[in-house]
Amino acid sequence: METVMVKIAPSILSADFARLGEEVRAIEKAGADYVHIDVMDGHFVPNITIGPAVVKSLRKHSGLIFDTHLMIAPVDPYIPAFVEAGSDIVTIHAEATPHLDRSLQLIKSLGAKAGVSLNPHTPESVIRYVLDKLDLILVMSVNPGFGGQSFIPAALEKIANIKTMIGTRAIEIEVDGGIGPDIAKAVTAAGADVLVAGSAVFRTADYAANIAALK
């Protein structure tokens, strides 16, 4: 049986915001698979980060997949701008829209891949009837809003349950929150395909070694 290497999506939330373009180029050179872009509105989550203009300006610095995580509500009015800015995957929160199916249809209609994110308390059952519209499921293993939090162990059971729900569908399971080399093994064993890591990648200047340690 072929071993599939887990993908690493460094979260630029932990990067040096004064040098974001350089940081994105550096993680690409260091072996990152995706660039994870955390968008927060100060309403859905208690923090404010960046908007489509920053995503657009970063696009010219990297050919990697831009994995844009929208922690905003309402979300639908902003989806087109983030796709236009260069997002390859747009992930929205199941809790941020009353019409999840419609929101996912919008993302797909614009030519991007569609993801759904679940907060720690949200059961995986909420995505059962939209699986046919999903390319990615993002399991939050911390409460969204800030980097540097500790991993919530209940996420492991959720990852395993989602793996079973997906069956043979081509949907990636991504995990975000408190991921370090020790936790990486457990979440990968549970079924994760993509690991989001902020502090674990950016904590030292040797991004390549940090990414390799997670893999």
Domain at 80, CATH number: 3.20.20.70
* Residue 189, domain member (yes or no): yes
Whether residue 173 has pLDDT greater than 90? yes
Give the tokens for residue 118.
């679940």
Question: Of 33, 41, 67, 176, which is the active-site residue?
Answer: 176
* Residue 158, domain member (yes or no): yes
Report pLDDT for 24. 98
* Residue 152, domain member (yes or no): yes
Burial 133-153 (b: 16+ CB within 10 A, else e): bbbbbbbbbbebeebeeebbe
Q: pTM, whole model, 2 decimals?
A: 0.96
* Residue 2, domain member (yes or no): no
Instruction: Tell me how many domains the chain contains.
Output: 1
Whether residue 192 has pLDDT greater than 50? yes
98 φ, ψ (degrees, to nearest 5): -80, -10
Report pLDDT for 3. 52
The rounded distance, in Å, linking the Cα atoms of 28 and 156 is 28
Reported in sequence order, the residue ranges of 3-135 that DSSP labels E, i.e. its strands, are 7-10, 34-40, 65-71, 89-93, 113-118
Question: Of 38, 41, 67, 193, which is the active-site residue?
Answer: 38
The mean pLDDT of 25-48, rounded to a whole number, is 97
Report pLDDT for 2. 44
Whether residue 103 has pLDDT greater than 50? yes
Structural domain of 135:
7-214
* Residue 91, domain member (yes or no): yes
Whether residue 1 has pLDDT greater than 70? no
Whether residue 170 has pLDDT greater than 70? yes
Active site annotation includes 38 = yes
* Residue 71, domain member (yes or no): yes
pLDDT in tens, 42-99: 999 999 999 999 999 999 999 999 999 999 999 999 999 999 999 999 999 999 999 9
Active site annotation includes 182 = no
